[in-house]
Every structure is written in structure tokens, then in C-alpha cells.
Structure 1
């Protein structure tokens, strides 16, 4: 009888051992207190990034045990640094997240990791790698819940497109980001994106698009000083390109005198006065930009100079500006082509990687199914074995009384 009871208890004993082993494995995998602090930091990150940074800074990194825990801390700390305007040019903080999440992370974790990796490249003035990294971020948005991170990646990428004079992509990105900010009622950021998109439409000389964006901008109230100045500047640029001379004269009459404006605004004023026919004043603005020593849009400066100098009969100066403009434009087109070629190659590499990842996932799935089937077979065989032993034990019990009766 004792042997039989031991046989029946074995499956229960095995299940109990398995449960204990699994519990120990889970408890050893992470620190509940660290997880609680990381979760708290993530929850307050958007509204109170300074508090999130202080909370993360108080965590002893030596207590981070698993790769997943280190990756989570690294990503959250990178987010906190960025949101507190602490720019970094090294990957020391983010590297654990790059090493773990790009292969093992959820869609949101991959997106955020790529985004902050791109931010670091941008801080390092490595614009090519920054642009391609933001592209990877935006290629990994399937299943993403953090729409605000998508919007930020679009805006960051748009800034780089502007540096590469790709104004179509610059405008498109800002319009996409504006829609996301509108969905979450982030009016300030939505208007910022629309203003940049309006600038892009003006640079593309797309009147229809500029009209639609301008109508959206005019629906906003309570603009701050910078936004109001930007809107006025882009309205002036719109009028200089598409408006009547009457409208242009009205806008210019409201413009404060002097040359204390930003270089780019003075370039717009030069274009406006040239359109109005006052080339002397236009040239004064161009000269003030050139002599200011401040950073300005060289290509825009040269394009305006060509027509202003031509109309002032300074043909030698106009030709010189034209040649300089042409050479710079050729260099920009070459850089844009090279960047697009690189993007195509990287996209192809991403597609190949996605296919390889899918193949590996299929192997894991089928492997898991095989293991489950094998376990089922083992359990079935063991159950049959136990059943057989039970029957044999019962038969032994039945035989023993018969044998005893025969002897008697």
C-alpha cells in the first residue's frame, strides 16, 4: 500500500517543485522596490520631468540586476535628461537601452530608444546618423501607443530636413505632427508645427497649401510673443510671394523701423521691398544681414541678391551671386541625393532585419509548440504508466486473498 501512495503523489510533488522553482526565478529576476520607483518616474515624466529626474538620480545603479531593469532605467534617465534640457553627446546613459530594447523591446520601447539615440546624434552634430535614426524610429510605429513620441520624432526629423533643404519632407512632417498634437489638445505644440509648415509651404512656393495652413493658424487665440512674431513673419513672406502690393504695403507699414530684427526676418523684408519695387531699401536689408556677423540662410540671401542687384543694374554682382547660388544649390542637391540613397539602403536593411526577426519568431513559436507537444506526450505516457501501476497494484491485492484461501 505504501508503494501505491508514493506513485500517486509523484505528479503532485513534481508540480509543487516546478511552482517553487518558477517563483524563485521570478523573485530573483527583479527588485520590486526598484520597479516601483521606475514606474513612478515613468508616470510623472511628462508633467513633472524635474521630479522624475530627481527620483531616478536617487536610485543606486548597483541595485539594478537584470538587463531589462538596466535598460528601463537607462531609457527613463535619457528621457529625464532630455526633458530637463540637459543635452548629452555620449551614449553612456542610453547604451543599456540600445543593447536590450532594439532586439527585445516592445514597439514603444524601440521607438523611444531610437528617438533618444537620434537626439544624441543631433546633439553631436552628426546629422546623417541623426536623420537615419529618426527614420528608424518612425519605421517602428506599428503597435505603438506613445503617439507624442511619434510627434516629437517627426518634429526632430523635420528640423534635419530643413538643414538639408528638403522642404517637402520638412513641411509634411510638421503637418503630421500637428495632427497628433491636435488629437491630444496640445494647442501650443500644434500651432508651432503649423507655423513651421506654413514656412515650408512658403519656401515651396505652394500658395494653395499655404492658404490652407494659414487659415488653420488664424483660428488660434492667445499666442505668446514668439508665436505671434513667427506668424507675422510668415504672413509677410506669404504676402511677398503671393499677396497683392496693397496687402504687402499694409503689412510693411506695420513693420517697426530699423534693422534690429533677426537676419532671416530682414531677408524676408528685403524680398518684400524688392517685390514692392524699392530695391534700394531691399539692398540695405541685404547688406545689414551680410555685415551683421550673425548666422543666416545663405541660399535665401543669394537668391534674393541676384534679382535685387540685377534690377539695380549691378550685373557683375548679380552674376557673382548667381554663380555662388548655383554652386551651393548643386552641392545641396548632391547631399540630398546621397542622403536619400542612404535612407533607401537603410530601409532595405531594416526590411531584411524584419524578415530575419520574423523567421526567428516563427522558429521560436514552432519550437515552443514542439516542446509543449513533447511535454504532453511525456505527461500522457507518465499518466498511462501510473494507471498501469495502479491496475497492477489492484490485481496484486485481489490475488493475495485468493492465494491465502488456497493455502488454507
Structure 2
């Protein structure tokens, strides 16, 4: 029996890895896929995720629209509302009317799991320790349980602490050292194995909607996303699970620690008092949310600084393993989906074989790296605006007074930062990638 055109291994069975698997099934059905997950079953951490119009297009392409509508329920009544809330009486300073679909991560993952072809291999309790990608033969993966496996293409969708990324950049550093590159170049490759702390902490909680309705009837978060802002902190809340819960995140900024290493557990449950003490004297709309977060989990927000490459030889990075970012544009999961759309479309070309695979991976890197890293930057800038750390903000720390002109400038800049989510399309990037690949394939045959 004739072997498949390519054997692909996806390391990581979260939203990014499973979206990639589903995208391959749609764009390249003649490719064999194996998924390796370190846990004993598929699962997701965190609660809510957002999908902008740009990402929703990809969900439609993957055939997920109806399933997603079923778990979203009634669309939000309005866009995101913004309030300055670090005072006894808050100030509304605008809204973002672009429609944001809000979804529970676990429910989204269940949809993906149900859609994965039964012919795909799924392997649990497989924690990758390293891989070898030599000049000949397949890529060989090694797992903590002592087993190994091979593939033609290894896709690292194993998150911000990616072992695939670590092995890839250690390999690049060793080659640079062998080639007698300057020591600083070798060290730079090794530095890319790590992630860094942004200086930000997120307190997360799911509030039953009925609890919020009881203490604050008609609260804006019951119907649509709302954000409450103050110096060096803000709160966002929005309904998920057909309105059953309000997903809440309270974010604290410590700018002096940005770029450092966070010591201790990245996520842990903390006493309610730790959170309450940080929002004393805020307006009632904000404080009632904080008061309902009875046992919040605290997360250190880490990121992967801009990488010089998303692939090396026959290994590629996807999602957080390539571009873990701050959550301030609600685009982490969406960028993973766009990675999957572009890469699977390139792999779907019948001319891509074991011999021409490198051409597809080069184009994937050229198209997806600038786009995703630009989103990383705009997400960081949005965080500065949300926490009133932008240079235009005129602020009196003694009485929390600011001018409406300053707030209007912030609101205008927020709207500018989000234009890409609805005025651009990932399919434009995909089509550009396909054209470049066509040209490269023609050149390779000359």
C-alpha cells in the first residue's frame, strides 16, 4: 500500500494543536497526523477566550460556526464598554462596537475533540523531552516515559514552556557555535529557549451570572464585555456559556518587573483579601465584581519575546510556543488558529513532499511571523492604554482626576489598535502565502 505523502506529529493537544489537526484534515486529507499530549486527556486551562471577526472567518472555514453558535447563545447586546473606575463615581469614556464572540475554552476544546478524524493517532501521557532532526531519515521524538516516535514534520504546539522550541533553539545555538559564530550570537539563540515575565498578574474567576444579578441588577457585564480602568490595573468581564457565567480577569501591572523572571508558581489560588485590597475605593460597578471573586486564581503573565524564526529544518512552532503574548487584545487563541490556517493550506499543496517540505515551512515563517509579532506589539500597547501607562495620559495620583480629553485620546487609540481585527483577513495572508509558494515551487524546478 502506498504510504502517505507526509507524516505529521503535533506535540500539544490544546486549542492550538487541535485546531491545527482539524485544519490539516480539511486542507490536506492525504497527510497522516499523530497528536502527542503530555496530560492523560485533552484539556485546557483558563476560562474565556475571544474571537474577533477576523478569527471567526477561520472558524467558518473549518466548519465550526454552528457548533460555536450553539455554545455562545444569544449574541452580546453591544460592544466593549470602557470606564475609568478607580474613584467613587466612575466615568464612561467610550465603547468598541466591533463584535467580539466570547467562548468558554473547555467548551471550545470539546468541539475540536469531536471533530478530529478517527484515523488520526492520539497519544496521551507523552511529554516530549527532546527530538533529533538529522540530515537524513525522519525526525525522531523522545518522550519522558522512555518511548520514541518518528515523523516527517514536527509541529510544536506545546505552549509557552515549549520543549519543542527549547530543543530547536539549542540546536540552532550548537550549529552557530560549530560554525564559529560570535559568542553573542550563540547566546542569543539560547536566550530564545526562555520566556519572560511581563510584570503583570491576572486574577481570574468565573462568577455565576445569577450572583452578579442579585448584588447588582442590570450590571453591564451581564449582557456584554465591559472594562474598568485605573492606574496600573484594570478589570474585564464578559458572559460565557450562554450567559450562565461571567468570565472575569483583574490585571495588575508592575512595570518595573517587565522582562524579568517570575519566581514561584505561575498559577495559584490566593486568598480573596489579596485581590480586594488592590481595588479599594473603586466605583461600585467594579468593586461588586471583585467582591464576588471569592477564591481567585492568580496567574503570572509571561510571554515569548519576538523569535527570529518559527521553523528550523523540519520542525515548526505554532501558537504560544511561537508567540505567547499578553491577553490585552484577546488574540492568543486566534493567532494560533491563523497559524493553523496558513500552515495547513501550504501543506495541502500536492507538490509538498518530504523533498519540498522546506519550501512550505519557509513561506509559513515569512507570512505568519511578522503578523503574529505585530499582534504581540499591539497587545502590549493596548495593555499600556488600559492601565493608563501611555504617555498622553494626564493623571493626578492624589485624587485620581484626569481630563476627558485625555480619556478620549486613549479611547481613540484603543479603536485604532483594534482595526486590524475586522478590517483585515487571515485569508489575505493565506492567499499571499500560496502565491509565494507557487513561485518558489516553479523556481525549484528550473
- Please, what TM-score do these two structures have when normalized by structure 1? 0.24
Q: Considering only CA atoms, is the larger Rg found in Structure 1 or Structure 2?
A: 1
TM-score, length basis structure 2: 0.22
